[in-house]
């Protein structure tokens, strides 16, 4: 069951933590460019907690990695530090996209990670997750299936590697907001979207 603003609402007894997410790399992502057998991949990470007191969106925090170009095995090694994550956990949704300046970005898959309990010792180092194909681009998966039929070097089974670590308690345990601590650089979405701080 997905976390929402009404399910398992955070109470005053919840401890708030600083949590670091590292998006390391992916392997065998779907093919977005059949000519080059590659993709220009980036990830949009969406973070939800059981209750957010200000915003009512399901995913109040969003982070975007840089784009890795011309590869089916992108390495981002992007770190996203957040604060205000409650001990009752979070849901992290990782949307894999292909950047295409001349068209809508292709959806290459999604990974969902859910934690229902956090402590100071919580740590997940380089966990591998299967990339789910649901709601992915039909064109990208068609390219991948065709290429895999012609070459044994192309796999249809993508994987994403992510680390999650609790760095400590949030400085202000009375501030129930969830927010980004770093890195403090502006990562621009394309013109049809809104810039976001990451």
**Domain range for 27:** 16-183
In sequence order, the β-bridge partners of residue 98 are: 41, 106
Phi and psi of 192, rounded to 5°?
Answer: -80, -5
Could you tell me if residue 151 is inside a domain?
yes
Query: Within 13 A of 70's CA, how many CA atoms are on the CB side?
Result: 2
Which of 70, 68, 73 is CA-nearest to residue 36? 70
pTM value? 0.82
Could you tell me if residue 98 is inside a domain?
yes
Could you tell me if residue 179 is inside a domain?
yes
Could you tell me if residue 4 is inside a domain?
no
Could you tell me if residue 6 is inside a domain?
no
Pairing, β 16-27 against β 75-86? antiparallel
- Digitized pLDDT (tens) for each residue of the chain, 198 residues in all: 333 333 344 455 789 999 999 999 999 999 888 888 899 999 999 999 987 655 555 667 999 999 999 999 999 999 999 999 999 999 999 999 999 887 689 899 999 999 999 999 999 999 999 999 776 677 777 777 777 777 778 888 899 999 999 999 999 998 888 999 988 654 443 433 333 333
Which of 76, 97, 78 is CA-nearest to residue 29? 97
Could you tell me if residue 2 is inside a domain?
no
Could you tell me if residue 194 is inside a domain?
no
CATH classification of the domain holding 168: 2.60.40.150
Which of 159, 160, 173 is CA-nearest to residue 24? 160
Could you tell me if residue 198 is inside a domain?
no
When divided into structural domains, the chain yields a total of 1
């Amino acid at each position: 069951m997905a976390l929402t603003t009404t399910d398992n609402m955070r109470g005053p007894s919840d401890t708030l933590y600083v949590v670091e997410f590292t998006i390391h790399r992916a392997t065998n992502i779907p093919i977005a460019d059949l000519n080059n057998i590659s993709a220009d991949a980036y990830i949009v990470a969406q973070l939800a907690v059981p209750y957010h007191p200000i915003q009512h969106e399901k995913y109040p925090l969003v982070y975007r990695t840089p784009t890795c170009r011309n590869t089916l095995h992108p390495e981002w090694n992007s770190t996203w530090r957040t604060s205000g994550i409650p001990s009752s956990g979070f849901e992290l949704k990782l949307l894999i996209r292909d950047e295409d300046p001349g068209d809508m970005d292709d959806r290459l898959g999604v990974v969902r990670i859910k934690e229902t309990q956090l402590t100071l010792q919580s740590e997940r180092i380089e966990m591998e997750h299967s990339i789910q194909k649901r709601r992915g681009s039909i064109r990208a998966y068609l390219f991948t299936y065709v290429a895999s039929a012609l070459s044994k070097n192309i796999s249809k089974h993508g994987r994403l590697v992510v680390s999650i670590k609790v760095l400590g308690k949030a400085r202000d345990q009375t501030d129930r907001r969830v927010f980004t601590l770093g890195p403090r650089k502006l990562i621009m979405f394309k013109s049809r979207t809104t810039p976001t701080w990451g």
